[in-house]
Amino acid sequence: MYLADRTWPELGDYVAEESVAVVPLGSTEQHGPHLPLATDHLIAEALAREAADRGGYLCTPTVNVGVSPHHKQFHGTMWVDPPAFRDYVESFSRNLSYHGIDRIVYVNAHGGNMEHLREVGRRLREDEVAFAVEWMWDESIPTLVSDLFEHNGPHGGPKETAMIMHIAPELVREGKLEDARDGGLVELSDGDLFVHGARNYYDAIDNTENGVLGDQTDATPEKGERLFDAATDQLVNLLDWIDEKPFPDLMAKPHVDPQPGSRRS
Amino acid sequence: MYLADRTWPELGDYVAEESVAVVPLGSTEQHGPHLPLATDHLIAEALAREAADRGGYLCTPTVNVGVSPHHKQFHGTMWVDPPAFRDYVESFSRNLSYHGIDRIVYVNAHGGNMEHLREVGRRLREDEVAFAVEWMWDESIPTLVSDLFEHNGPHGGPKETAMIMHIAPELVREGKLEDARDGGLVELSDGDLFVHGARNYYDAIDNTENGVLGDQTDATPEKGERLFDAATDQLVNLLDWIDEKPFPDLMAKPHVDPQPGSRRS
Amino acid sequence: MYLADRTWPELGDYVAEESVAVVPLGSTEQHGPHLPLATDHLIAEALAREAADRGGYLCTPTVNVGVSPHHKQFHGTMWVDPPAFRDYVESFSRNLSYHGIDRIVYVNAHGGNMEHLREVGRRLREDEVAFAVEWMWDESIPTLVSDLFEHNGPHGGPKETAMIMHIAPELVREGKLEDARDGGLVELSDGDLFVHGARNYYDAIDNTENGVLGDQTDATPEKGERLFDAATDQLVNLLDWIDEKPFPDLMAKPHVDPQPGSRRS
Amino acid sequence: MYLADRTWPELGDYVAEESVAVVPLGSTEQHGPHLPLATDHLIAEALAREAADRGGYLCTPTVNVGVSPHHKQFHGTMWVDPPAFRDYVESFSRNLSYHGIDRIVYVNAHGGNMEHLREVGRRLREDEVAFAVEWMWDESIPTLVSDLFEHNGPHGGPKETAMIMHIAPELVREGKLEDARDGGLVELSDGDLFVHGARNYYDAIDNTENGVLGDQTDATPEKGERLFDAATDQLVNLLDWIDEKPFPDLMAKPHVDPQPGSRRS
Amino acid sequence: MYLADRTWPELGDYVAEESVAVVPLGSTEQHGPHLPLATDHLIAEALAREAADRGGYLCTPTVNVGVSPHHKQFHGTMWVDPPAFRDYVESFSRNLSYHGIDRIVYVNAHGGNMEHLREVGRRLREDEVAFAVEWMWDESIPTLVSDLFEHNGPHGGPKETAMIMHIAPELVREGKLEDARDGGLVELSDGDLFVHGARNYYDAIDNTENGVLGDQTDATPEKGERLFDAATDQLVNLLDWIDEKPFPDLMAKPHVDPQPGSRRS
Amino acid sequence: MYLADRTWPELGDYVAEESVAVVPLGSTEQHGPHLPLATDHLIAEALAREAADRGGYLCTPTVNVGVSPHHKQFHGTMWVDPPAFRDYVESFSRNLSYHGIDRIVYVNAHGGNMEHLREVGRRLREDEVAFAVEWMWDESIPTLVSDLFEHNGPHGGPKETAMIMHIAPELVREGKLEDARDGGLVELSDGDLFVHGARNYYDAIDNTENGVLGDQTDATPEKGERLFDAATDQLVNLLDWIDEKPFPDLMAKPHVDPQPGSRRS
């Protein structure tokens, strides 16, 4: 169920009976010459809506702009600084608890948001306000991703291309797939990524001239559909798993024994 | 032009030649028994996209969740606290300037965001990073709004109902229009709004049991279309006006004479 | 009773028996060629002290500098940035609750403070620390203001001039009243205030060369006295109203039914 | 010259020619059974206004509430938390520089504000915005204070009592002077202030039951006048000294030689 | 050269000629029944000092407490919250630039600090204050680590055990190595780490009862020495690499063409 | 007992039975031509470890970098800005309470940290999280310090020199003692410290060319040993005193009578 399409009286049963919210988050950032800047938030939104509908959960609107300063050199990339992103997400998450929501899955399709969602999740859990966990679609189906693509590329590669071919085919510039591959970095391990153990890059442009990685010509709508279905299955399973857990089981384990102060005279 | 549908190379001309961005902002909050929680962000997005397309400007994705704590008692209302909202908006606005954007129109359809957008706009202007101004659709066409509706209601009333009838008719619960009117507050001045000069309310629920105001049965898709077209015209005009201004004319006027320290020995 | 003139033992009865504080806030900003920069804080202080005395409430010292960046071009205008203002007011308000004060009226005479006081009031109410409400003198007596002046001007106009003629006549530059009128903007609606629905100004200087609005020559001490008395009456009534309310009635209404989680299995 | 009594045109010469502002700061906190809670801000204001008038400098309105949590147990004590106090003072100080003010003397009469004013002063100096220095009246005339009183007490003692006798005699409860002495701590060194080198107190009440120290019966208006005049002299001298210094001489000395990077190849 | 052992005059040549600082950071957190809580900061400090000495660079004192809330259940684990950690590190790093230091290597031995150091590094680079990069010893020698240990365990495992055997052998509880292995999780992949693509753990205790991973009995001082030498070599190489780079080459690449605003009329 | 040398199981008894932590804090800042920049953190660490061992208390690792901007002109001085310092210390202190620690002694050897530790201590006490008190070694033995040295100098003087001669003799540049004396300021009262009651200095360099004060040639290792032993005794006594106090006795005294609201109808 998509929260924003409902009227408030229609949400009464959910608020009374349920405790899970699905929150899609993405980015608005360059994805090469063949994919729209919307790529990440489109993927997150499509997966979150589909899984929420299948599983009977509540899906919120999408956070469209995330933490993407590492793509800034390319036209149109938007980003918020990490503290502002964390505080924005924490604030609406915390406020969701007013309606009894105490489990949140951040359906995320932008790697740069992950550590920040994790930090927000920890804050909410430390206060026992909610259990909020980030989820990245491709990390839920690593084997399938590897099986489908030889050079899958972590950004703007065939896996994201295939997903957009399935979700929003009109937004894929088919004629640019070869350009995308030839002007970028096909194999991540060919990049000059580390120097003596330190990261040798801050920005996407440090490793790829057109902003993308992998072999985009390997993407097809059919592969996109397989990815989408498999990831949705994973997400529904995750939502069911969280839904069924007693709340205390989702909170931090107690201090090991002996308990602090337990033998204080 | 909608930024998020473009690839980065397609944005090169705009970045090189232009300086204006249109940013839609709304809320996800109760709008009575007849309108979806999405109402405000749907209106903002529709107007912003249409005006940007007509005028040849760049429209960004929408900020879907705003400052709505005054609607919290109704199921599903989402909100962020004011400092988080301001910082999130300021951060992406400031970062847009990296691409040469130094004029931003916040196309807003939620009153509760206004003062915060104004505060952000002032910060950006004080630093001479950008001229950013908030714009509220119904305030741009006050005469038309008055002419069309007898009891127009500032929240969830016939003007918003008519707009959604035009923009997303499938989301209007037609069968609930009478309920909306009868269970809410038809005429704002009948409310118990002020007591000896102080506001006598903090939340929508203090004045309306179902969260809405005005006479919703007065709304029609045709009125919605007239509102939409008139407001879009205003917005295009505003964008043109801002686009044509030299940047210094958009910045603060200088200190009055005599200039500070001008006669210091 | 003025808190700062008392010794601490003299406040014991009030602390034990009462729960209301009156806090005057103003600004230190230009008020044209005829009025002192103190205008707003003088008005707030005079009204707050008088109403507190009449009604038997406790009045605190005055916050003299507020949020006035929109007057900065004129010599001597002082201001604090909004976050600092909010935090300062929130901090002492919150700390007043240590003495049992859980109702605060911010007697304010500067429009630029209003939205910030409202934001602080909401924070205090959300935490159920106190009910704090902002009050602006002229908004409590709109009919009288309209009756007395043809061109009342929202800043430095005849209503403020008359008030200072009554409160601190020695501070009015009588010989400058015509200059004030002729060098400023007599009728607000003649100003170039909006452009296609957006504010076309940020600062006072954008609309008035000498910083003021309205017809100052229309002010008299007698009118000032009438304004002062009428506004004081309103304020006393407001304080009595707040004093009599049970605290829970001043806090937010509960979540609408069904209650969150009430039917959770 | 008192800024707040002036109109903006009257301040033009000062803004053009001068660079110094005098800012009074105090507290609103218990001062025993004989002195008003206003004591500190009355003293600061009286000294600042007098010295500004004598020396031809600009005095701003007073900050009436400071950092006084250590007096909170006594009825009516008001306070702001340190970060809010610092940010408020920093904000208006920084904004004064818009009018060419780059030297500020914080005329302070409350010990609890000192370290915070120093921290603000350092921030302003590090950014080379202004030279702002805190000044505490009794620290400018230590010999006179010692000569006049045997048990001078750092809080609510005879020196502050004498000052209020001179500045605002109607606010001194003459009949309570003996009570003040007998119910407090006459000699600071009799207090239980330190334990093995650590402070053994956080709050005034830890050492004095009625909140004050010293022998209040030793105060006279004549002593108050001598203190006032001597301190004012010091303050005028300080203002003249600061006024005459070239701005660079008030800023931080440069890095010692060799300069960083000066021999970098 | 260890900064803290030097006098200031002895640092003059370095300040004049060089631009690199080495900053060790670790944690104070549980490392099982066999290793001290100091483990991470001891390793970071030993490597940083050795590499700085070999390469002729300046090493600062160590930050001993980092971001370790995920170990909190075990006695004695200390931690700071992420915003405080980031601000502390950013502040001293930024201030180091006053002495001409514009390249910093954060020699880190605690995984939980990494993302925060990266965030700080990005802030410093965006302002072009310094190039600061985090470095994690074991990530610089992945092949050697794999070759030496079958079950190397990311926390408290044989690689850290061997390092402490080499650096501070007196702190290894030799008699507890088998306990460490048997009471913990030998093979990370046996842990219940992910559920449908989401992390199924927040804290170390969620996967290991005694807090550690891997086979500690596989550690020897000789292996520790090899690890230490190899990692030091990597670090020296990294420092040389950074030292030789022109500063602009360490800063962000420019915006892709066309440049923002370049064709604006 | 030094926390960082222990394994977590070894800390179980302490956590169960005790409630005190000893936290050493210093600075890394210039101490003249004869002492290392580490001086303050070496002294704090040595005293804290020794006293903790003698008294059976838990000592944490050292905070090596503090608030030292006033020494910045001299090569190598490191510092953090006050808000970052306070937040870092507050964060780990607050988190120590998770292990039952509710009494903390900040063993500090750098004057510039004192007011900030006091502010942190007050925050922790207001929330009743912990009683945390700052302790400065030389302030615990003022008579001995005066007896031992004629010109003891508050920074880099003979008392600190003697302490380092005792704690880390290899770090004292014996050949530079006369230089230290002759190039600095021997007698503080000869400095130009105050002007008309205001501080006439911000930085060490304003009063001493080589950064130090006092007569360093008066230091001997024997004097250092006496200082060290006497200060350690004081610290052990302080720890015992705090350890024995019931927790409520360490918290703030209650509001004076009548209690707030006690007679409210």
pLDDT digits (tens, 9 = 90+) for B210-247: 999 999 999 999 999 999 999 999 999 999 999 999 99
- Contact between F100 and A260 using a beta-carbon 8 Å cutoff: yes
How far apart CA C252 and CA D10 sit, in angstroms, is 48
Rounded Cα gap, residues B98 and E35, in angstroms: 49
Total count of residues recorded for chain F:
265
Tens digits of residue pLDDT in E31-78: 999 999 999 999 999 999 999 999 999 999 999 999 999 999 999 999
Parallel/antiparallel/unpaired status of strands D131-136 and D58-59: unpaired
Beta-ladder partners of C194: C199
Tell me how far apart the alpha carbons of residues E62 and E48 are, in angstroms, rounded to a whole number: 9
Q: How high is the mean pLDDT of chain C?
A: 97
**DSSP assignment, residue D194?**
E
Question: ipTM of this model?
Answer: 0.97
A99 → closest Cβ in C257, C260, C264: C260
Q: Does E208 touch chain F (CB under 8 A)?
A: no
Asked if B253 contacts C205 with a C-beta cutoff of 8 angstroms, the reply is yes
CA dist F38 to C42, D62, F114, F168, F173, Å? 55, 43, 18, 10, 13
CB of F70 within 8 A of CB of F134? no
| pLDDT tens digits along A95-140 | 999 999 999 999 999 999 999 999 999 999 999 999 999 999 999 9
Interchain proximity D119–F195, CB inside 8 Å = no
Q: Do F62 and E63 touch (CB under 8 A)?
A: no
* pLDDT score of B118 more than 90: yes
What CA–CA distance (Å, rounded) separates E26 from E163? 14
By mean pLDDT, which of B113-117, B186-190, F78-82 is the weakest?
B186-190
Residue E155 in tokens:
């926390």
Residue D151: closest CA among D189, D195, D117, D125: D189
| Tens digits of residue pLDDT in F6-45 | 999 999 999 999 999 999 999 999 999 999 999 999 999 9
Beta strand pairing status for A20-25 and B20-25?
unpaired
Contact of F58 with chain A, judged by CB distance below 8 Å, is answered with no
Tokens of F18: 């005790």
F127 lies within 8 A of chain D by CB: no
- Torsion of Cα atoms, C189 then C193 then C197 then C199, to 10°: -150
DSSP structural state of residue E97 = G
- Contact across the interface for B205 and C256, Cβ inside 8 Å: yes
Euclidean distance between the first and the last CA atom of chain D, given in angstroms as a whole number = 56
With a pLDDT cut of 70, the percent of chain E lying above it is 100
Residue F4 has pLDDT above 90, yes or no: yes
**Which residues in chain F have their CB less than 8 angstroms from residue A263's CB?**
13, 16-17
Task: Give φ, ψ of D30 to 5 degrees.
Answer: -55, 135
pLDDT at C265 over 80: no
What is the pLDDT at residue A193?
A: 86
* CB spacing of F262 vs C16 below 8 angstroms: yes
Answer whether D258 sits within 8 Å of E13, measured CB to CB.
Answer: yes
Average pLDDT over every residue of F243-253: 97
Best CA proximity match to F202, nearest among F79, F112, F82, F83: F112
**Cβ-contact A213, A157 below 8 angstroms:** yes
What per-residue confidence (pLDDT) applies to D200? 82
How far is the C-alpha of D251 from the C-alpha of D231, rounded, in Å?
26
Both structure tokens of F99: 């292990």
Least confident of A165-174, B218-227, E147-156: E147-156
Residue D128 is given by DSSP the state: T
Q: Where residue B147 falls among pLDDT bands split at 50, 70, 90?
A: very high
Beta bridge partners, A136, equal: A108
The two tokens of residue E85 are 């950690």
pLDDT band at A191; cut points 50, 70, 90: confident
| Both structure tokens of A64 | 């469209």
Average pLDDT over residues E198-218: 94
pLDDT digit string (tens) for E100-145? 999 999 999 999 999 999 999 999 999 999 999 999 999 999 999 9
D230 touches chain F (CB under 8 A): no
Q: Which residues contact C107 (CB under 8 A, 6 or more apart)?
A: C22, C23, C24, C25, C44, C47, C48, C51, C135, C137, C235
Integer Cα distance of B102 and B133 in angstroms: 11
How confident is the model at residue F108, as a pLDDT?
A: 96
Report the alpha-carbon distance of residue F18 to residue F243 in Å, rounded.
Answer: 8
Can you read off the two tokens belonging to residue F260? 């707030």
Per-residue model confidence as pLDDT tens digits over F172-211: 999 999 999 999 999 988 888 899 999 888 999 999 999 9
Q: What distance in Å separates the CA atoms of residue A179 and residue E191, rounded to the nearest whole number? A: 43
For chains F and B, having 3+ Cβ pairs within 8 Å is answered no
**3-state SS, one letter per residue, for B179-233:** HHHHHCECCHHHCCCEECCEECCCCHHHCCCCCCECCHHHCCHHHHHHHHHHHHH
Interface of A with F in 242-261 (CB under 8 A): 255-261
pLDDT of B169-213, one tens digit each?
999 999 999 999 999 999 988 888 899 999 888 999 999 999 999
SS (H, E, C) B111-159: HHHHHHHHHHHHHHHHCCCCEEEEEEHHHHCHHHHHHHCCCCCCCCCHH
On whether any CB of chain D is under 8 Å from the CB of C92, the answer is yes
Summarize pLDDT for C26-67 with one digit per residue, the tens. Answer: 999 999 999 999 999 999 999 999 999 999 999 999 999 999
Are the C-beta atoms of residues D27 and D41 closer than 8 Å to each other?
Answer: yes
CB spacing of C253 vs B74 below 8 angstroms? no
User: In 10 A of CB C245, how many CB atoms?
Assistant: 12
B265: pLDDT strictly greater than 80 = no
Q: Which two tokens stand for residue A15?
A: 């608020």
In terms of DSSP H, where are the helices of chain C? 12-17, 39-55, 82-96, 114-126, 142-148, 158-167, 177-183, 221-244, 247-250
Q: In the block, which residue shows the tokens 């004479």?
A: B257
Both tokens of D47, joined, read 């000294």
Q: How many CB atoms lie within 10 A of CB D157?
A: 30
Of the candidates F242, F14, F5, the one whose C-alpha atom is nearest the C-alpha of residue F106 is F242
**Do the chains contact at C100 and F264, CB–CB below 8 Å?**
yes
Of A257, A261, A265, the CB nearest to F100: A261
Distance separating alpha carbons of residues F205 and A142, to the nearest angstrom: 61
pLDDT value at E265 more than 80: no
Residue C189 has pLDDT above 90, yes or no: no
- Closest Cα partner for A252 from A123, A115, A125, A124? A125
pLDDT at F265 > cutoff 80: no
Residue E192's pLDDT is 81
At E112 the pLDDT is 97
pTM (two decimals): 0.97
- pLDDT lower than 70: segments of chain D: none
Confidence of residue A189 (pLDDT cuts 50, 70, 90): confident
Query: Averaged over B55-61, what is the pLDDT?
Result: 98
Nearest to A6 among B37, B41, B83 (CB): B37
